[in-house]
Amino acid sequence: MKLSRAEYKEIVKCTEHLRPTRQCMTILRQRFPNHSQSTLLSIFSLEYQKRTKRTMSRLQAPDCIESYYQRYLSEAKARPSVPVLLELANEVDLSPALMARVIVDRFLQDQEGGVSSKQVVNNMLREPSLIPDEALANHVYQCTINDCCYGPLVDCIKHAIGQEAEVLLRDKLKERNLSFLDENQLRTKGYDKTPDIILEVPIAVEGHIVHWIESKASFGDDHSHRTYLNEQFWSYWNRFGPGLVIYWHGFIGELDSQRDRGILLKDCFPSDIVTLCHGTSPATTDSLTG
């Protein structure tokens, strides 16, 4: 779904005071019924990650961590049947999964007498039953399943959605009988930094030549698109020529401003594809776009 910048800003404004719990999506769907849940969730996740980066250093200061931990111990003892860790995360506007990580890390310091390894903490967040405290394990579980932006469950979902989008892209290319090399095939040929798809025979989309396609299972906002341009898309353009980026969860329409320079944005697989011959010259671009 392609949004105008005004539509995007309206959604962002609505997310400013939401917490990253499952209930936030209910609020967003009710407020913006004409937008898909995947688009709304992607926008909210991006905005919440920006908010977290701005406040993370303050919230993870040693005195804050100690305050959270002592508060958790006190509340868990006084109200054993209440999801006190989830409540605390929402109160201080910290991702529930990140709060769980902070508390588990602090708990292990008491247990082991020092800083625990990141791998140990990660394993306990993925499998709370490994935590040698049943009550804390239960609170961590509640935090991870109620967080829609961070945590092992979200990471698995994002990975699966990304894989699904890449499979969809390959299937669409096969349906059109378009020859291509995917990322894995390109790596076996020695390429280290590649788009998801290199077309063995270029195509034209809306009058623009396309040699490669990149699949993004996310919403394209200003920050993420600018980062991708600098770290990925322009390097693909330099090596492989003009290409197409598909933001499956939509993008800000005004960002599709690099077409004449060789980067086209779409929110779905294009329907108006023209297959070109090998060795299409740059001059052909003029006849296609004119």
Q: What is the mean pLDDT of residues 143-164?
A: 94
- Could you count the other beta carbons within 10 Å of the beta carbon of residue 154? 18
Q: Give residue-wise pLDDT tens across range 30-72.
A: 999 999 999 999 999 999 999 888 888 777 789 999 999 999 9
Q: What is the pLDDT of residues 192-234, one digit of tens each?
A: 789 999 999 999 999 999 999 999 999 999 999 999 999 999 9
Q: Mean per-residue pLDDT for 157-184?
A: 95
Burial class (CB in 10 A: 0-12, 13-18, 19+), 230: exposed
Is the pTM of the predicted complex or chain greater than 0.95?
Answer: no
Nearest CA to 102 out of 145, 148, 136 is that of: 136
pLDDT of residue 290: 33
